[in-house]
A = this chain, B = another copy of it.
Amino acid sequence: MISHRMIKMTEGGSAIRAMFEEGNRLAALYGRENVYDFSLGNPNIPAPEKIRSEILSIAGNTDPMALHGYMPNAGYPFVRKAVAESLNSRFGGAFGEDNIIMTVGAAGGLNIVLKTLLNPGDEVLTFAPYFLEYGNYVSNFDGVLKAVPAPAERGFQPDAEALFAAVTEKTKAVIINNPNNPTGVVYSEDTVRALAAALGRAQEKFGNPIYIIADEPYRELCYDGAAVPWLPGFYDNTIVCYSWSKSLSLPGERIGYVAISPKAEDAGLIFSAAVIANRILGFVNAPALQQRLVAACLEEKTDVAAYDANRRALYNGLTQAGFQCVYPSGAFYMWVKTPEEDRAFTQRAKKYNILLVPGSSFACPGYVRIAYCVSHDMIIRSLPAFRKLAEEYGLTK
């Protein structure tokens, strides 16, 4: 009796969420410490202490009417101004408060941007492997998501020529997720420059603007000096969707922003429409308290040392066991080649209480994603289990 689309979705479910629940089931059976749940990108580094102190200060010192009342649907002007100035000081550019919309996380931001841009049948491109939720976000607005492979042989860096070839007259946008979930690869400046050039040519070819939607919740999570190129510096028609979920370990709080490049075609119209989309999709505005909170914490640095230690330990342990892994430069995911079909592999891994997400869930079979935003201790404890798993396949040298 419910919507046909939703019936299908209840049958499909989310592989990642299913794993999360499987983890809880196994933990109840074997004890939490004996289950190696690498399924969910839930940061395990606590939010910085300043988050707590600022909540106490905001709640303690702000008039409740000002604190909890409505504000413009785009968010508090002072918060948007602070975000714009922070972007300008970090990356250059001329963002103003009317280029910034505070959103219910990056997921909320992506949805309002897609609602703003898409007519039914419009195409959105992205690079596989990709966060499968993009397909749902695009189809919410009757768009069609098409994936262009970011090939393993290029170290999962996207190929600009393949992107150019995939553009049609229906292409409205390209979602670029950097650092990439699930591979942990940081798309390099060379890659970004080539993608921007290819899209510039495609815009000329078809005579339409094609927007880059930069999905960047992992921007601050980079290792070994890697840096994520700032897309608005390379391509005018760019809209950035950001979230503090990962950088400040606030995923449950649902706070992010959309930044529309002031150089984008129709930047003002996109802003107006996206603010309306924010309202009519039912977000209304990003949570008030969290807006004030992030404005007070714009200078907080993400502590990536713990993720980095996990990354090294896991990479060393897995490669020594015989697995082939991408050595990630960003995010907190490791992307590992599977010695058999990836869903079968994740099933077999469960025998050792190891929970992974199959590459099929990212439109890239033959791999698994390991979310290493877990305790270092769990990484160390899991390595013998991974070794046994490798032995089943005769991988161990």
Q: Which residues in A have some Cβ–Cβ distance to B below 8 Å?
A: 1-7, 9-10, 13-14, 17, 40, 42-44, 46-47, 51-52, 55-56, 59-60, 63-65, 67-71, 73, 104-105, 107-112, 115-119, 133, 136-137, 140-141, 208-209, 249-255, 265-266, 269-270, 272-273, 276-277, 279-290
Minimum CB–CB distance for A316 against chain B, Å: 26
> From A290, which residue of chain B is reached at the shortest CB distance?
B287
Q: Give A67 to B136 CA distance when docked, in angstroms.
A: 28
* Contact between B56 and A70, CB atoms less than 8 A apart: no
Residues of B within 8 A of A73 (CB): 17
Residues of B within 8 A of A209 (CB): 1
If over half of A's interface residues share one DSSP class (helix, strand or loop), that class is named, otherwise mixed; here it is helix
Residues of B within 8 A of A17 (CB): 73, 279
Q: Give A14 to B284 CA distance when docked, in angstroms.
A: 12
Q: Give A13 to B255 CA distance when docked, in angstroms.
A: 25
Copies of this protein, total: 2
Residues of B within 8 A of A51 (CB): 64, 68
Residues of B within 8 A of A133 (CB): 279-280
Given contacts A119-B3, A276-B10, A64 and B105 within 8 Å (CB-CB)? no
Given contacts A1-B208, A280-B133, A250 and B40 within 8 Å (CB-CB)? no
Q: Which of B59, B104, B265 contacts A104 (CB 8 A)?
A: B104
Residues of B within 8 A of A10 (CB): 269, 272-273, 276
* Contact between A283 and B108, CB atoms less than 8 A apart: yes
* Contact between B69 and A42, CB atoms less than 8 A apart: yes
With A108-B284, A254-B287 given, can you name 16 additional A-B contacts, CB distance below 8 Å? A1-B266, A1-B269, A2-B266, A3-B115, A3-B116, A5-B119, A42-B69, A46-B63, A51-B64, A52-B60, A52-B64, A140-B281, A252-B288, A253-B287, A253-B288, A255-B287
Q: Give A236 to B286 CA distance when docked, in angstroms.
A: 34
Residues of B within 8 A of A252 (CB): 67-71, 285, 287-289
Residues of B within 8 A of A70 (CB): 40, 42, 251-252
Q: Give A22 to B328 CA distance when docked, in angstroms.
A: 52
Q: Which of B3, B4, B6, B282 contacts A110 (CB 8 A)?
A: B282
* Contact between B47 and A251, CB atoms less than 8 A apart: no
Q: Which of B7, B59, B265 contacts A52 (CB 8 A)?
A: B59
Given contacts A2-B117, A115-B3, A119-B4, A280 and B250 within 8 Å (CB-CB)? no
Minimum CB–CB distance for A27 against chain B, Å: 15
> From A110, which residue of chain B is reached at the shortest CB distance?
B282
* Contact between B105 and A280, CB atoms less than 8 A apart: no
* Contact between B64 and A56, CB atoms less than 8 A apart: no
Q: Give A109 to B4 CA distance when docked, in angstroms.
A: 19
* Contact between A111 and B282, CB atoms less than 8 A apart: yes
Task: List 6 A-B pairs, minimum CB-CB distance, nearest first.
Answer: A252-B288, A111-B282, A107-B282, A136-B280, A6-B273, A55-B59
Q: Which of B7, B43, B266, B270 contacts A269 (CB 8 A)?
A: B7
Minimum CB–CB distance for A264 against chain B, Å: 10
> From A143, which residue of chain B is reached at the shortest CB distance?
B3
Residues of B within 8 A of A69 (CB): 42-43, 249, 251-252
Residues of B within 8 A of A285 (CB): 252, 254
